[in-house]
Amino acid sequence: MTATDQRLATSSAPVRGAVDMTHGAGGRAMADLIRDVFQKHFNNDYLAQGNDGALLGKVHGRLVMATDAHVVSPLFFPGGDIGALAVHGTINDVAMMGARPLWLSASFILEEGFSLAALEKIVVSMALAAREAGVPVVTGDTKVVEKGKGDGVFISTTGIGVLADETDVSGSNARPGNAIIVSGTMGDHGVAILSKRENLDFETEITSDSQPLHNLVAAMLAAAPGVRVMRDPTRGGLSATLNEIAQQSKAGMVIREADVPVKPEVAAACELLGLDPLNIANEGKLVAICEAADAQVLLAVMQAHPKGRDAAVIGEVIADRHALVRMQTRLGGMRVVDWIAGEQLPRIC
Amino acid sequence: MKYVDEYRDQRLARTIAGAIAAEADPERSYHFMEFCGGHTHAIFRYGVQDLMPDNVHFVHGPGCPVCVLPVSRLDDAVELAERHGVILCTYGDMMRVPGTRQRSLIRAKADGADVRMVYSTLDALKIARENSDRQVVFFAIGFETTTPPTAVALKMAETEDLANFSVFCNHVLTPAAIGHILESPEVRGLGIVKIDGFLGPSHVSSVIGSQPYEFFAEEFQKPVVIAGFEPLDVMQSVLMLVRQVNEGRHEVENEYTRVVTQEGNLKAQALVSEVFELRKSFDWRGLGAVPYSALRIRDAYAGFDAEKRFGLSVKVTREVKSCECPSILRGVKKPTDCKLFGTVCTPQNPIGSCMVSSEGACAAYWSYGRFRDQKPASLEAAE
């Protein structure tokens, strides 16, 4: 049973047929679609208000808002699907600010001809992901484009979260001497997607790591309120994320190849395809940077959490006016860890 | 990863590095050309240079298939995609190489040309079968390693009578290029490029064997050690080269015995000679016209030859003048000698082909090795 099938176990009678232009035309068909698919599965008090927008409660603290568009191909992949990914991706973007995610919005762009049963499967998965995370989808929108002008379904989600007064997490906060920690193995999501691509089908047990990280983040901040930077290494992988932080903080980094956790199956797939696991996307991992003195406490908290079991300290921030990220190779040499040029894998999130 | 990690082991690397340092004569320097881009990539990716003594240098050779393809042939490919309306199937790296006026296949694709990235010739055949109403051209590039799969594709196309499929053949030959470099004035007469020996190709040699290098070793008195692509292979081969130089030997030795034999893959060689024949001359970027250095499709398969099927125009090609790719490919200059390197020309915005492929010297320098030329402030302070 795939992860999506498991999510589907709660589903009732399937919706039949295909999306047509009337589903986006504002008439009866659209109202039916919203009622029978979106409202039915997302089902919460905010949506039940039935208005054009959701009236949200009062919040104490600074607000954080993040948005993410999802266009992954294939729509269903080992370990997840576009629906769950759209929830996890935005929750994680809010969480990486150190905030507690409160609400999500979701917009769907559907292609004429797309199977309504597949749409329902995606929405069920998305609703379950939102429920599991405790972050409801409170408002949404649907548009339909003509056949050939989309690719099945695109989902855009926006999240709002609240930040504790003492939290100060930013990509510009890394300082020389700080420790760099990752929450788990690198490259699982990208390789899982790659294994299902039309022209590259290969057998692997790898599943996407798509998961929400806000509870892990809350545990980390409770144990080490001084965490300076958090970011999820999605597109472009660890190398892009470290380079972004290095540039923002105007500091260099040195990491150790031997300390970066990579599953043997992911390493093998990358070896075969000529890819670098450091450049491969993750959807349920984070990079954290903290004072060296806090590193062991933080690491212990992460390793004790189910979403950070394989966490590891992988290197340090150093003073470097060129803001280069370098890596001590397993062999004992040194090299730059660069961002990838252009696209390595198309449409992975 | 079994059978891979063993060749990247730090303890063994230190042992070999110790042996090289002990045996390299401090009174002299050693310049070894790694012909293959695969070696260039491995040297930079694993930081092999850091384990070498200061007097052992790598000279990067022209063995990067994407890098040596002349602009004129790339322009031809763009023309096939744009003017002749074909589905052009290409290996990924070729997409980003800039042609005349910086026009690349990826730009042609953005403007509506049907250019598709494939992982193998079989993908191209599949596309041809699925699009019988369209002409499908496979943009064939590469050294002896990628030639047999192209030969297989041509034979399959003939067997299946796949009339809408053809191959734009740009396959080139390693021994001819090595010979050309050794005979060039920079190496032979002027001594601008110092070469004390060669790290011989890995995968190319698995096809052609070690025998074709015996002529160079003898005629030009240069040792050749055929080396695998793993970092420990490279280091062990450097040690073997140092020993040959020290002992005044110039032999072909094979470090990569787990794959390469003296005669090579006879079946692949037979297949290639059945489908292809030598071109009298072929232009290489950097090396210019090199006699008998490339292959064309034999008359028996002329029906699948894109050059014959489509009347390609004669073009005036233009390269960016300040781009030093040609000199870098000959080992005359280093990437850091180029004014464009890292300023105008980066992997994100490549001006020359050497910055496109991960096997290109400029891309390897920039992506993995540029800290060597831009020392972090903390290290500068420590020195």
* Residue type for position B278: L
pLDDT (0 to 100) of residue A169: 97
Q: Is the pLDDT of residue A270 over 80?
A: yes
Among candidates A264, A322, A329 on the partner chain, residue whose Cβ is nearest the Cβ of B1: A264
CA distance A256 to chain B (A): 12
Chain B residues whose beta carbon lies within 8 Å of the beta carbon of residue A344: none
pLDDT confidence bin for A44, thresholds 50/70/90: very high
Average pLDDT per block of 10 residues along chain B, 383 residues long: 84 96 97 94 94 95 90 94 94 89 93 93 96 97 96 97 97 93 83 90 95 92 96 97 98 96 96 97 90 96 96 79 89 91 90 88 91 54 39
CA distance B365 to chain A (A): 9
Question: Cβ separation of A336 and B47 shorter than 8 Å?
Answer: no
Chain A residues whose beta carbon lies within 8 Å of the beta carbon of residue B231: 331, 333
Contact (Cβ atoms closer than 8 angstroms) between residue B260 and residue B202:
yes
Residues A250, A288, single domain; the answer is yes
Q: Where in the sequence is the domain holding A124, given as residue range(s)?
A: 3-163
Domain presence at residue A126: yes
pLDDT confidence bin for A348, thresholds 50/70/90: low
Residues A29, A144, single domain; the answer is yes
Q: What's the CATH code of the domain at A40?
A: 3.30.1330.10
Please give the CATH number for the structural domain made up of B1-319. 3.40.50.11740
CA distance B371 to chain A (A): 7
Chain B residues whose beta carbon lies within 8 Å of the beta carbon of residue A321: 376-377
Among candidates B46, B96, B119 on the partner chain, residue whose Cβ is nearest the Cβ of A333: B46
Question: Cβ separation of A342 and B347 shorter than 8 Å?
Answer: yes
Domain presence at residue A347: no
Q: Tokens in use for B255?
A: 């470090």
Place of tokens 């510009």: A172
Residues A198, A146, single domain; the answer is no
The domain boundary residue, chosen from A103, A136, A163:
A163
Question: Cβ separation of A319 and B1 shorter than 8 Å?
Answer: no
| ipTM metric | 0.82
pLDDT (0 to 100) of residue A272: 84
Taking only the tens place, the pLDDT of each residue in A155-184 is 999 999 999 999 999 999 999 999 999 999
Residue of B nearest to A329 (CA): B46
pLDDT (0 to 100) of residue B378: 42
pLDDT (0 to 100) of residue A201: 65
Chain B residues whose beta carbon lies within 8 Å of the beta carbon of residue A252: 376, 378
Residues A123, A62, single domain; the answer is yes
Chain A residues whose beta carbon lies within 8 Å of the beta carbon of residue B5: 330
CA A58 from centroid of its chain's CA atoms? 27
Question: Cβ separation of B46 and A331 shorter than 8 Å?
Answer: yes
Q: Tokens in use for B349?
A: 């915005």
Taking the Cβ of residue A330 and every Cβ of chain B, the question of whether any pair is shorter than 8 Å is answered with yes
Of A254, A259, A271, A336, which to mutate for an interface test with B (greatest number of B Cβ within 10 Å)?
A336
Residues A155, A224, single domain; the answer is no
Residues A105, A153, single domain; the answer is yes
Chain A residues whose beta carbon lies within 8 Å of the beta carbon of residue B40: none
* Domains held by chain A: number: 2
Of B94, B116, B370, which to mutate for an interface test with A (greatest number of A Cβ within 10 Å)?
B370
Of B10, B120, B346, B355, which to mutate for an interface test with A (greatest number of A Cβ within 10 Å)?
B10
Taking the Cβ of residue A334 and every Cβ of chain B, the question of whether any pair is shorter than 8 Å is answered with yes
Question: Cβ separation of B8 and A331 shorter than 8 Å?
Answer: yes
Question: Cβ separation of B367 and A264 shorter than 8 Å?
Answer: no
Chain B residues whose beta carbon lies within 8 Å of the beta carbon of residue A333: 46-51, 231
Taking only the tens place, the pLDDT of each residue in B262-306 is 999 999 999 999 999 999 999 998 888 999 999 999 999 999 999
pLDDT (0 to 100) of residue A134: 97
Residue of B nearest to A252 (CA): B376
Taking the Cβ of residue B377 and every Cβ of chain A, the question of whether any pair is shorter than 8 Å is answered with yes
Domain positions in chain B are 1-319, 325-382
Question: Cβ separation of B376 and A330 shorter than 8 Å?
Answer: no
Residues A153, A193, single domain; the answer is no
pLDDT confidence bin for A343, thresholds 50/70/90: low
Domain presence at residue A173: no
Of B8, B40, B46, which to mutate for an interface test with A (greatest number of A Cβ within 10 Å)?
B46
pLDDT (0 to 100) of residue B316: 77
Q: What are the CB-based long-range contacts (under 8 Å, 24+) for B317-324? A: B317/B70, B317/B71, B317/B72, B317/B75, B317/B99, B317/B100, B318/B71, B318/B100, B318/B101, B319/B71, B319/B100, B319/B352, B320/B102, B320/B351, B320/B352, B323/B351, B323/B352, B324/B352
The three-state (H, E, C) secondary structure of chain A, written as one string: CCHHHHHHCCCCCCCCCECCHHHHCCCHHHHHHHHHHHHHHHCCHHHHCCCCCCCCCCCCCEEEEEEEEECCCCCEECCEEHHHHHHHHHHHHHHCCCCEEEEEEEEEEEECCCEHHHHHHHHHHHHHHHHHHCCCEEEEEEEEECCCCCCCEEEEEEEEEEECCCCCCCCCCCCCCCEEEECCCCCHHHHHHHCCCCCCCCCCCCCCCCCCCHHHHHHHHHHCCCCCEEECCCCCHHHHHHHHHHHHHCCEEEEEHHHCCCCHHHHHHHHHHCCCHHHCCCCCCCEEEECHHHHHHHHHHHHHCCCCCCCEEEEEEECCCCCCEEEECCCCCEEECCCCCCCCCCCCC
Range 169-228 of A in CB contact (< 8 A) with B: 176, 199-200
Question: Cβ separation of B47 and A333 shorter than 8 Å?
Answer: yes
CA distance A266 to chain B (A): 10
Q: What's the CATH code of the domain at A291?
A: 3.90.650.10
Residue of B nearest to A317 (CA): B378
Chain B residues whose beta carbon lies within 8 Å of the beta carbon of residue A199: 118-119, 123
pTM metric for this prediction: 0.88
CA distance B1 to chain A (A): 6
Among candidates A200, A335, A342 on the partner chain, residue whose Cβ is nearest the Cβ of B369: A335
Q: What is the mean pLDDT of residues A258-287?
A: 93
Domain presence at residue A349: no
CA distance A148 to chain B (A): 15
Question: Cβ separation of A324 and B376 shorter than 8 Å?
Answer: yes
Domain presence at residue A213: yes
Residues A265, A190, single domain; the answer is yes
The answer to whether the Cα torsion of B160, B161, B162, B165 is positive or negative is positive
Domain presence at residue A153: yes
Greater confidence (A306 vs B62) lies with A306
Taking the Cβ of residue B365 and every Cβ of chain A, the question of whether any pair is shorter than 8 Å is answered with no
The answer to whether the Cα torsion of B108, B111, B115, B116 is positive or negative is positive
- For residue A135, count CB atoms less than 10 angstroms from its CB and return exposed for 0-12, middle for 13-18, buried for 19 or more: buried
Q: Which helix (H) or strand (E) holds B281?
A: strand B281-284
Range 42-71 of B in CB contact (< 8 A) with A: 44-51
Chain B residues whose beta carbon lies within 8 Å of the beta carbon of residue A330: 5, 8, 10, 46
The domain boundary residue, chosen from A120, A135, A163:
A163
pLDDT (0 to 100) of residue B85: 86
Residues A226, A79, single domain; the answer is no
CA distance B333 to chain A (A): 21
Residues A50, A125, single domain; the answer is yes
Residues A88, A209, single domain; the answer is no
Residues A102, A229, single domain; the answer is no
CA distance B11 to chain A (A): 8
d(CA B19, CA B16): 5
Question: Cβ separation of B47 and A176 shorter than 8 Å?
Answer: no
* Residue type for position B88: L
